[in-house]
Structure 1
């Protein structure tokens, strides 16, 4: 991020429960990171956004609801938060994800790309977040 000016303001956008929300969230993240002057690890941040948004749509957003994507400057990095109203606590799968088939790799990717990640409470639902250092 450009240190010559004030830190960038957090950005957020609400998405509906529909497939096109994931590519829209990626585009929003890319645009925000470019505005903030983030180039190093921008692809990692965008991939984390994609995986967390997909997980929210598949597991955390009941019909008629949506999810909130929030991007925040965080120390020497970027914090990604996806807020949804679903139940449950996501976890990295403990099975062998090298097996053929779809699914089960999103949080594994996030856990490998992000410096840290976690789940916070929200009423209703949860916030799944990650932080990616860009320095």
Structure 2
């Protein structure tokens, strides 16, 4: 499987979160990724874009969204949000004032993390889509021999 990358730059404004989510949904549809998995990915993009705008993008700047499908020759989808702000995102307690979005990202993705860039950082999450069970036309997973 060849890796395919989609990317888009967003300015520091609230409409960018909606734009990032719609851009992601269009790419997922093109790649045939749908259902609950697509909803989880779109929600994580929404959270990462919101975090970039609130905490990572200095005035007058923006963030870059990368969607990479087929990474390392596998059915892996990787989402990356690059911003030029300092600081390191972290998960906080559910009753904290912020950081709950990263709890969602951690719960919905197979892996996530933060990397360095100059200037700023990359916050990423990814899903191994090859492990997803086949879906029937009703949208329900097909039973496997272990579940019948």
Normalized against structure 2, the TM-score is what? Answer: 0.80
Q: Which has the larger radius of gyration?
A: 2
Give 1:8 shift: 5.6
Structure 1 residue runs without a partner (length 5+): 1-5
String of CA shifts for 1:58-112, please: whole Å, max 9, x gaps: 000000000000000132221000000010111111x2x247xx64311000000
Q: Which has the higher contact order (CA 8 A, sep 6+)?
A: 1
Give 1:37 shift: 1.1
Determine whether 1:38 maps to 2:23.
no
Give the root-mean-square deviation of aligned CA atoms. Answer: 1.5
Aligned to 2:19: 24
User: Runs ≥4 in structure 1, deviation > 3 angstroms?
Assistant: none
Tell me the secondary structure at the aligned position of residue 27 of structure 1.
helix
Aligned to 1:87: 86
Tell me the secondary structure at the aligned position of residue 123 of structure 1.
coil
Aligned to 1:51: 47
- Number of corresponding residues: 126
Are 2:90 and 2:99, in contact at CA under 8 Å, matched by a contact in 1? no
Are 1:8 and 1:36, in contact at CA under 8 Å, matched by a contact in 2? no
